[in-house]
Chains A and B, each alone.
Chain A
Amino acid sequence: MNSGARKPQAFTLDDAAVKEALDELEQFELPANPKLPDGQNGEGAEKAPGLISWPGLFWAGAGGFLSFALGIWAWGFIEVLFSRYVWLGWLGAALISMAAAGLFGMIMREWLALRRLAALDALRARAVEAGENRAPKKARAVVHDMGNLYSDRPDLAQGRAALRHHEDEIVDGPDLLKIAEQDLMLPLDVRAAAAISASARRVSVVTALSPRALIDVLYVFWETIRLLRKIGGLYGGRPGTLALIRLIRHALGNLAATGTVAIGDSFIEQLLGHGVTAKLSARLGEGVFNGFLIARFGIAAMHAIRPLPFLATKPPKAAEIMKGIVNLQAKA
């Protein structure tokens, strides 16, 4: 530090070495879907111990063998078709190529969806890290990437514009994240909470009215999937099937982590509050219970997919969602 170069000194503005701080921002412009650093998404960490996973080996072998068999069979079948009539052979080949193209498209879509989810996870991990650090550099990069992530979302135009004001200002890292959360996440949170609330209410009504248990089990399942797709789409995940399964796993993990706390407060309060209703009608009680579970699950999914953790705003509570009053203002 004592070297002469770090002595106080002045430069003129047209000095070639002078670089405006704003340019610095462009330096850490990252691709919209940043590649995952190894072991950062938790999945990798899970797989790390043990070189061979026995179920993995089984599925790899069985899957490979089956697709091999299927390929041989299809090849043989098409040969048979060609040997009967040529046009039949062409028809078979065309059909099988269509199926292959469709399969390829589906795989690509799933893969992209998984990558989007992974990008959200990575962004959240970086945001958590940046939130612990006062220097704004990392937080700025996170906010910048969030801007990219939502650059094609007309409903967030206002939030993006508001955020742009803080780009060349001095704001500490954690504060910058809080501002970004209020500008970009809050509008989405409101809509997510509304979606959860609607789902929970529908599930309550269907459970209470359905004549058979099987019907409401199926309906709850279908509604859960619908809700997850909606929340995923809102926060920029747009999950496919595999990504959906992964999202469900994340949400369940989140529920498991916070479940005990929830049972401690709102859950019991909820059951007690609706005790009278439950006595009036067992079906009505079940309906409320199912709706409550859906609400809990939807909130867990919000936690799992939201690219920023809840910093300046408080997450909605299941009890609030059930009552239809959601107050998503920033924390006191």
Chain B
Amino acid sequence: MISPIRSLGQEARLVLENAADGVAALRGPSLRLGVTGLSRAGKTIFISALVHSLIEGGRLPLLAAYKQGRMVGAHLKPQPDDQVPRFAYEDHIAALMENDRHWPSSTRQISEVRLVIEYESARFLKRRLGPGTLALDIVDYPGEWLLDLPLLSTSYEAWSREALSLSGGGTRKMLAADWHKLVEKADPQDPEDESLAKNLAEAFTAYLKSCRDERHALSALPPGRFLMPGDMEGSPALTFSPLMLEEGMKAKKGTLHAMMARRFEAYKRYVVEPFFRAHFARLDRQIVLVDVLSALNAGREAMQDLERALTAILSCFRPGRNTWLSRILTRRIDKILFAATKADHLHHSNHARLEAILARLVDRAIARSEMAGAEIAVLAMSSVRATREVTVTRGNMELECVAGTPEAGQTLGGQTFDGKREFVFFPGDLPENPDSVFEANGAISAQTDAMPDIGDPEVRFLRFRPPKPARKSAVPLKNGLYLPHIRLDRALEFLFGDRLE
């Protein structure tokens, strides 16, 4: 197993923290659910929908405890980590459901929520012994930060070379042109210079930001704090950039190279490591949300990039089967769910193909986790379903379409939507063979043009506004409002259904 943490002392500290968690769990069973996903993958929506459907009730026929009527209720409780802000659940739900329905804005800082589920066990003995509650601890964080985890096992020199070679090809080359000019001028052997470092870092950040644009949807962009700096903006730990380094070059004292390397290490120590230790080394279950559709939209290069990013991130997990001792000392993630989000952009007849593409994207991570004994599932889901399904007859052909309100400013075939009217939309067919979306001559045409709508793509997905909250009389709801979803219940059953038995 590749572990980004190599020092024995750090490992010991993790064991201690896990043991402390284990002791705390004696008072009431708890489960740390890791919600992982790059930015825009839908982490915030997933958490909000999860909390909402468990608290308010909803359509969850596949969550066994709920369906069998054993779930008594769920409510929010103060979280165990006092230093972390609380997840703004109420605000997100209000954004989704109130008059000008919109998706919550992207996450800028880490937050946590604890949801306590009250249930009665179906097992006689467990009913006598256990308190019948399960505390779910869920952490939300900017997806950009995830990209940093692979840095933990990299040196500045190796990262520098990798970042430069990555930026030398395809779309990235065009986007990185300004930064490349600066890097070429900067000699690593020059004496350290704060203003030069600042210029380099700014150009580097600009390049990373442009990569992330919807048109390109590139994913592998460490360091993540450059994109989402939070309260560390402008500090030296966030002011560095890769340099042109030759193989085997050692950093001499006082040079630009040494300065950059020092800052890189500081970034790892003060930014990445605390994040990893506080949230990633202590997870019991993991859901990895992947926005496959946006990457498909942007073309082959984005798909390859997504694959690279996911493989690097997933290598930081600690999958494996838990024994009672390992549950206390070295926690392992024993169930991982890979979920392709925003499945509501597609008709359900395409969902199996979407899952095949996702499975192909993460096949290395799946193989590794299965070998370690973790349980894996791949699912196409939608935490909040923004569309409904319709069919359109064109000649003798049936087109399986979705209907919804596209967000204002979205375009398709020269038509720009105003965000008010509902449209019926045929997104195209996903390829039957998942490999074809990664291959050079694949069915999906790469859209590297400046305009997203130029060319004749095989598939195209629009962003839809959140759905009008529905009232379903016989669904047992507290306030009568209901957020539709696709397979959210199946995801929940997989993630913690066994703990509610």
We find that the number of chain A residues with CB closer than 8 angstroms to chain B is: 37
The listed residue (A9, A13, A164, A179) touching B426 by CB distance below 8 A is: A9
Q: Cβ of B475 and Cβ of A13 under 8 Å apart? A: no
Interface string of B32-49 (1 = CB under 8 A from A): 000000000000000000
Interface string of B371-402 (1 = CB under 8 A from A): 00000000000000100111111110101010
CA–CA, A215 and B424, complex, Å:
72
Determine if A175 is an interface residue (Cβ-Cβ < 8 Å).
yes
Q: Cβ of A13 and Cβ of B424 under 8 Å apart? A: yes
We find that the number of chain B residues with CB closer than 8 angstroms to chain A is: 51
Q: Cβ of B59 and Cβ of A165 under 8 Å apart? A: yes
Q: Cβ of B390 and Cβ of A18 under 8 Å apart? A: yes
The segment from B10-18, B60-68, B131-139, B221-229 that touches chain A is B60-68
Q: How many A-B contacts at CB < 8 Å in the complex? A: 118
Determine if A15 is an interface residue (Cβ-Cβ < 8 Å).
yes
Q: Cβ of A6 and Cβ of B428 under 8 Å apart? A: yes
CA–CA, A330 and B62, complex, Å:
11
Q: Cβ of A169 and Cβ of B484 under 8 Å apart? A: yes
Determine if A162 is an interface residue (Cβ-Cβ < 8 Å).
yes
Interface string of A1-34 (1 = CB under 8 A from B): 1000111111111010111110010000000000
- Chain A residues contacting B490 (CB-CB under 8 Å) are 175
- Chain B residues contacting A1 (CB-CB under 8 Å) are 429
- Chain B residues contacting A12 (CB-CB under 8 Å) are 421, 423-424
CB distance from B455 to the nearest CB of A (A): 11
- With known contacts A6-B429, A11-B425, A330-B68, A175–B392 Cβ distance under 8 A: no
Q: Cβ of A170 and Cβ of B389 under 8 Å apart? A: yes
Write the chain A residue with the least CB distance to B355: A134
CB distance from A46 to the nearest CB of B (A): 37
- Chain B residues contacting A179 (CB-CB under 8 Å) are 61-62, 67
Determine if B465 is an interface residue (Cβ-Cβ < 8 Å).
no
Determine if A204 is an interface residue (Cβ-Cβ < 8 Å).
no
The listed residue (B348, B422, B423, B474) touching A136 by CB distance below 8 A is: B348
Determine if B415 is an interface residue (Cβ-Cβ < 8 Å).
yes
Determine if B318 is an interface residue (Cβ-Cβ < 8 Å).
no
Q: Cβ of A165 and Cβ of B388 under 8 Å apart? A: no
CB distance from A137 to the nearest CB of B (A): 9
CA–CA, A24 and B392, complex, Å:
11
The listed residue (A7, A19, A171) touching B392 by CB distance below 8 A is: A19
- Chain A residues contacting B352 (CB-CB under 8 Å) are 134
Other A-B contacts than A8-B458, A10-B412, A15-B392, 12 sampled, CB-CB below 8 A, are: A7-B428, A8-B460, A9-B413, A11-B401, A18-B401, A20-B390, A165-B472, A165-B475, A166-B61, A169-B486, A170-B487, A182-B67
Q: Chain A residues in contact with chain B, CB under 8 A?
A: 1, 5-13, 15, 17-21, 24, 134-136, 161-162, 164-166, 168-172, 175, 178-179, 182, 329-330, 332
Instruction: Supply 23 A–B pairs (Cβ within 8 Å), ascending by A.
Output: A5-B394, A5-B395, A5-B399, A7-B428, A8-B412, A8-B425, A9-B425, A10-B423, A10-B425, A15-B424, A17-B393, A18-B403, A20-B388, A21-B388, A21-B390, A135-B349, A162-B61, A166-B61, A169-B59, A170-B348, A171-B487, A172-B487, A175-B490
